[in-house]
Amino acid sequence: MFYIRTVKTASNSIAVQVIRYQDRKRIIVKHIGSAHNAEEVLYLKQTANKWIEEITKQKSLFPYNGKEKTNLVATNKLRNLGFRYTFAYETISNLFHFFQFTGLGNQLFLDLGIIRIIQPASKIESLRLLYELFGIVHKRTELYRSIPTIISLKEDIENKIIAVAQKHFAFDFSIVFYDVTTLYFETFKSDQDTQQGIGLRKKGFSKDNKINQPQIVIGLIVTSEGFPVSYDIFEGNIFEGKTFPPYFAVNFSWVLACCVLS
């Protein structure tokens, strides 16, 4: 890359040079000439700029003469109002389309997934980030109404992911691995039994040594390559062995089918 340099000489004139840097050393590529006033300096800079354009075959973005008419706006008159990660949003959206997630019919869910990848945060904070980074607006009431619908999409999403993994990445699901872990909550109050069922947050054997705090148990299935297949959540006080049979029998009949077919 070439640069235009001005330097004062011993004769009190101003030398205009075209230089470049190599290994942190300045190399004079061409000496354009010496000037004795501002007009001559401007003329020599324009000459140097034309020389660079001829050598590099690339036009200069900014003219040297500030009096020339230009469509460019002076940067000192601009004000930064923010920025948008439109490229990241479009790229991940295309990936979601490849997995056929757009067919789920829930744009809020997809937007929450995108922002979770870019900057993980709480659901409410995610709404703010969607507006700040992408200019996308979702109301809180929309989020609250959509949560039950999002939960119901779990099985459909897993099936779509597995279909893509089998078709395009030749994943072999004949061998899968299952393990559980615990996630605790920053509270000392467990969920109470309700008429609708038993709450999930309960005290149990904590793998985080949080014996006094309620937790949930998460079961995860992965392939031999570590590819996540699916997960489920259970009450925090459940014995690990009791999560295994219903986990496969209810949610993963397709896994058993893959084992039989292979």
Gap between the Cα atoms of 228 and 249, Å rounded: 18
The predicted structure's pLDDT at residue 73: 67
Residues 6 or more apart whose Cβ sits within 8 Å of residue 1: 20, 21
| Residue 63 pLDDT exceeds 50 | yes
199: tokens are: 């709450």
For residues 180-208, average pLDDT: 78
**Percent share of the chain, pLDDT over 70:** 84
Q: How many angstroms separate the CA atoms of 21 and 30, rounded?
A: 13
pLDDT value for 225: 83
Q: What is the pLDDT of residue 61?
A: 67
Residue range 206-250, pLDDT digits in tens: 888 888 889 999 999 888 888 888 888 999 998 888 887 555 555
Indicate the pTM of the whole model. Answer: 0.57
pLDDT, tens digit, for every residue of 103-142? 888 999 999 999 999 999 999 999 999 999 999 999 999 9
Confidence of residue 148 (pLDDT cuts 50, 70, 90): confident
Residues 66-98 have pLDDT tens digits of 455 556 666 777 788 777 888 999 999 999 999
Burial label for 29, CB within 10 Å (0-12, 13-18, 19+), is middle
What are the pLDDT digits (tens) for 33-61?
A: 999 999 999 999 999 989 999 998 887 66
Residue 259, both tokens: 């084992």
